[in-house]
Amino acid sequence: MISVFIVEDNPDIQLLLQTIVSREVEYACVGVVTTGTEALRRIPELLPDVVLMDIGLPDISGIDCVRRLKPLCPNVEFIMCTVYDEDEKVFQSLEAGANSYILKKSKPELLLTAIREVYEGGSPMSSDIARKIVARVQRKDQARTDYHITPREVDVLTMLAKGLTYNEVADALFISVKTLKKHIYNIYEKLHVDNKVEALNKYFGKF
């Protein structure tokens, strides 16, 4: 049996998700909370198999919850179940540690299938979300081709996009800050930009 924990602040959607999960014998809803604070406390205690996580919670965003919970509960699988389909929220969720991103408007059968697949090690997505991911990969590949960005420079850009400091990036790549700055200078030259924000926007694209 797959144990499912629900984090959702809307009472109607909360009840709907509980009903969908509980109507099938192979799934069990083991808990429901309405805030990120409660989720941070209860999930490490219960260690459910799968968590359905809303993004727009009243206190802490679901994305921040996943980012903080994943290191504490590495075996718990997180599905973002949300009304938001903005590209930035999709990619922030996946980078935070979510394994799946499902829109609340999805059919119940898709939600149950997603729970099963993520429990078995998959990363199911709504079809429109999957298209966004493919489009981003294609844009990155095109940018790498157009600007001759090297794999190491991609690593630098990716870490800077996550908000890491120069010291943190240098440590992660096992290089000196001086060497890192050389990489950054080369990136700026290739992208024809003057600062980090312009570089990230030009390489990753504005979603």
| Each residue's pLDDT tens digit, 42-96 | 999 999 999 999 998 999 999 999 999 999 999 999 998 877 666 677 778 888 8
User: Confidence band (pLDDT; 50, 70, 90) for 206?
Assistant: very low
| Each residue's pLDDT tens digit, 163-198 | 888 898 999 999 999 999 999 999 999 888 888 888
Q: Is the pLDDT score of 125 beyond 80?
A: no
- 4 beta partners: 29, 50
Tell me the CA end-to-end span of the chain in Å, nearest whole number.
Answer: 39
Measured in whole angstroms, the distance separating CA 55 from the mean position of its chain's CA atoms is 11
Threshold 0.75, pTM exceeds: no
| H or E, element range at 28 | strand 27-33
Mean residue pLDDT across the chain: 85
Cα–Cα distance for residue pair 95/106, rounded to 1 Å: 22
Sheet order of strands, 77-82 included: 27-33, 2-7, 50-53, 77-82, 100-103
Domains along the sequence of the chain with CATH? 2-126 (3.40.50.2300), 148-202 (1.10.10.10)
What pLDDT sits at residue 44? 96
Contact 48, 5 (CB under 8 A): yes
Could you tell me where the beta strands, DSSP code E, fall in 43-199? 50-53, 77-82, 100-103
What pLDDT sits at residue 207? 36
Q: Is the pLDDT score of 8 beyond 70?
A: yes
Cα–Cα distance for residue pair 86/83, rounded to 1 Å: 9
